Amino acid sequence: MHTDTPSSRVFDNYVAGRPLPSATGRSFASINPTTGREWGRFVDSTRDEVDAAVQAAAAALSGPWGAASPTRRGRLLMAWGEKIAAHAEGIARLESAQNGKLFAEMKAQANVVKEWLYYFGGLADKIEGRVIPVERPSVLNYTLREPIGVVGVIVPWNSPTFLSIMSCAPAMAAGNTIVLKPSEVTSASAFELVRLAEEAGIPPGVLNVVTGAREAGEALVDHEQVGKICFTGSDAAGRAIAARAGARLASCTLELGGKSPNIVFPDAPVENAVVGVLSGIFAAAGQTCIAGSRAYIHESLYEQVVDRLVQRARAIRLGDPLSADTQMGPAATAAQLQKNQAMVARAVDNGGEILYGGQRASVPGFEEGFFFQPTILHRLKADNPIMQEEVFGPVLAVTSFRDEDEVLALANGTKFGLAAGVWTRDLRRAHGIARRLQAGTVWINTYRAMAFNSPFGGYKQSGIGRVNGMESVDQFLQTKSVWCETSDEIQDPFVLKV
Ligand code: NAD
């Protein structure tokens, strides 16, 4: 069932409605993490190649996209959503072959993004200015909400289509045009997205795709004609991007990593909490920004819950992500596998103990694959690096606690603030804790829920700004204040009124 493409194929950049072959012939390989074999090759874009894409986006902005009515833009986004859903299976196959995540998950994501495009397509003609009641009644002062211009969208490998649409949909609804730089690990599906956008009637140049790694991203961030960067990725890259963008005063939306806690109180619905903790960290092999990588379990339930977690982790079936029987695929890259191994080893060096897992896993038929066992660690002090740094792998740290104040201090005690889970039947406690948690999303008796109309983003070093929901459109708009004197009067500062 594997879809290894001939490895000689080089995917060209896609600019102004056409494939744009590399001028230098520089390319890089993407590796199928399940087989360890080369899957395809992509253009390693230079600054000039990134510039060509920005020029195309700028031309589309002052051309057909700028001229389209907001209603028309919205309809085109909706039509794009239909097309993507109709091709969800093919997109998922490309993504799964590149990042090793379950085909079923990638397909569900490619299918659900239509909801995002319907929602933001619907919002396109509801972006309104205001009339301001300024002091002088003869003056009409109103605001226009205008697109920023060309938006550079940079995304990671874990959910390529989902995260690209989360950024592109509000940006395009607001009237901007896009240069999308997918991750060097998962570049292929972006070309499907742009092909389908144009099939849906979105004019050439509105969405352009350039591939490459950090250097291509930096060229996009540095480009004077890119008015806004919408970045999803690691906190380290986010910090570097914000500094570069800041150097030329371009604005950024940053969706970064996390070290999210799941807190299980004594009155929790225990079996649901076990499922929530388990899926929070082991679904997607932990390769999700909202991974619930720290579980704080009340001492009265600690042994019971930890035993269940180990039992369930032991039963997780590792294997080919394209197979419906598989519950966990490999790490997406050899580097991510090494990071999992190194961070677990460091946690143990710092006094932690392995309750389950901690090793590279061997999967029959896929001996070269980058598989890692679901891993549970305990006896970890709050300053153990694994309690502070994101692994982005299937590694759960469990800790017991006694009371609310103690667990809040622990839960809030990292630089991150992306998400948190609270498990309790006591609603007063649940909402009280939700207020005191420093996190952009708090889930009570559930985990990993997300919707196109509910804002998502990070507190502290998990990010700046929000995707999803109405406020995400605001991040791609700038406000112009227009003043119009409607009477024949003119205020002349050189004529003194007595
Ligand atoms: P990464 O930061 O290494 O790379 C992300 C993207 O940025 C890639 O396209 C990469 O080529 C590019 N890039 C890297 N350094 C850059 C630089 N200095 N300048 C410009 N571009 C640069 O992240 P990754 O390993 O691809 O993805 C995993 C990370 O993404 C995790 O930290 C995860 O938590 C985060 N993430 C966050 C969210 C969210 O919504 N908050 C969602 C998914 C993933």
> What is the per-residue pLDDT across 90-104, written as a single tens digit (0 to 9) for each?
999 999 999 999 999
User: How far is ligand 1, taken at its centre, from the CA of residue 393, in Å?
Assistant: 14
Question: According to CATH, where is 3.40.605.10 located in the chain?
Answer: 2-256+462-481
Looking at domain 261-444, its CATH class is alpha beta
Q: Which residue minimizes the CA distance to atom 8 of ligand 1?
A: 183
Q: Which residues of the chain have pLDDT under 70?
A: 1-8, 498
Query: What pLDDT was estimated at residue 158?
Result: 95
Residues with CB under 6 A from ligand 1: 154-158, 163, 181, 183-184, 213-214, 217-218, 221, 232-234, 237, 240-241, 255-258, 289, 390, 392, 418, 463
Residue 156 Cα: closest atom of ligand 1: 26
The active-site residue out of 168, 230, 252, 289 is 289
The distance from CA 26 to its chain's CA centroid, rounded to whole angstroms, is: 28
Residue 457 Cα: closest atom of ligand 1: 41
- Specify the pairing of strand 477-485 against strand 139-147: antiparallel
Query: What pLDDT was estimated at residue 7?
Result: 52
Residue to probe by mutation, ligand 1, list 50, 232, 239, most atoms within 8 Å of CB: 232
Residue 456 Cα: closest atom of ligand 1: 40
User: How far is ligand 1, taken at its centre, from the CA of residue 314, in Å?
Assistant: 30
| Phi, psi torsion values for 406, nearest 5 degrees | -60, -45
User: How far is ligand 1, taken at its centre, from the CA of residue 488, in Å?
Assistant: 57
The secondary element (H helix, E strand) that includes residue 147 is strand 139-147
User: How far is ligand 1, taken at its centre, from the CA of residue 441, in Å?
Assistant: 20
Query: What pLDDT was estimated at residue 2?
Result: 42
**Catalytic: 105?**
no
Are 411 and 404 in contact, with CB atoms under 8 Å apart?
no
Residue 467 Cα: closest atom of ligand 1: 40
Query: What pLDDT was estimated at residue 496?
Result: 77
User: For the chain, how far is it from start to end, CA to CA, in angstroms?
Assistant: 89
Query: What pLDDT was estimated at residue 132?
Result: 98
Query: pLDDT tens for residues 303-341?
Result: 999 999 999 999 999 999 999 999 999 999 999 999 999
* Residues 6 or more apart whose Cβ sits within 8 Å of residue 15: 52, 53, 56, 205, 208, 209, 210
**Catalytic: 215?**
no
Question: Rounded to whole angstroms, how far apart are CA atoms 96 and 321?
Answer: 7
Question: According to CATH, where is 3.40.309.10 located in the chain?
Answer: 261-444
Are 159 and 287 in contact, with CB atoms under 8 Å apart?
no
CATH code of domain 2-256+462-481: 3.40.605.10
Residue entry with tokens 């209603």: 71
